[in-house]
Amino acid sequence: MAKISDLKLTLRAFLMAYRWRKVDPVPHAQLPRPLATCRVALITSAGLVPPGAPPFDPTIKGGDWSYRAIPDDVAVQTLEEHHKSDAFDHRGIEADRNLGLPLDALHALVAAGEIGAAAPRHISLMGSITAPGRLARDTAPRVVEQLRQDGAEVALLVPV
């Protein structure tokens, strides 16, 4: 695991000065029935994009707050990674996109009967958004509505 001292000086300085937000209490919901009967969607912050979809825009100050819908039947290795952060080693996700969007594991859990079904679409966001206001105000409600339309009852967050 990386230590802050392993990061570039500019990134260390940024992290030290960043005004981290505290959410208290953390919002949550009780699962009304067993997971084995629920439809599950994945939400990743790996900046993954399906083939042919526009990449995330690295020039947006504070981070690109948009999202990409990823079909459940996508070949995971065909997803393009557009995460702009240099705060983590991208080689793992470059070698296996399942590290950022574990679709193969989700499908295995469905096949084993541990999860009822996979949602027809999953969500990819850009991580390292330093100005998350638009993400929380604009994008999150749209993502929630899309997941509701897809019948997703559980969303598993995969932070990168």
Q: What is the pLDDT of residue 72?
A: 98
Nearest residue to 47 via CA among 99, 7, 12: 99
Q: What is the pLDDT of residue 85?
A: 80
3-state secondary structure of 85: coil
Report pTM: 0.86
Strands 39-44 and 154-158: parallel
Q: Are 97 and 15 in contact (CB under 8 A)?
A: no
**pLDDT per position in the chain (160 positions), as tens?**
667 787 788 878 877 787 777 777 777 778 889 999 999 999 999 999 999 999 999 899 989 999 999 999 999 999 999 888 877 788 889 999 999 999 999 999 999 999 999 999 999 999 888 888 999 999 999 999 999 999 999 999 999 8
Q: What is the pLDDT of residue 90?
A: 83
Q: What is the pLDDT of residue 79?
A: 96
Determine the Cα–Cα distance for residues 2 and 117; give it in Å rounded to an integer.
Answer: 35
- In sequence order, the β-bridge partners of residue 132 are none
Q: What is the pLDDT of residue 1?
A: 60
Domain boundaries, the chain: 34-158
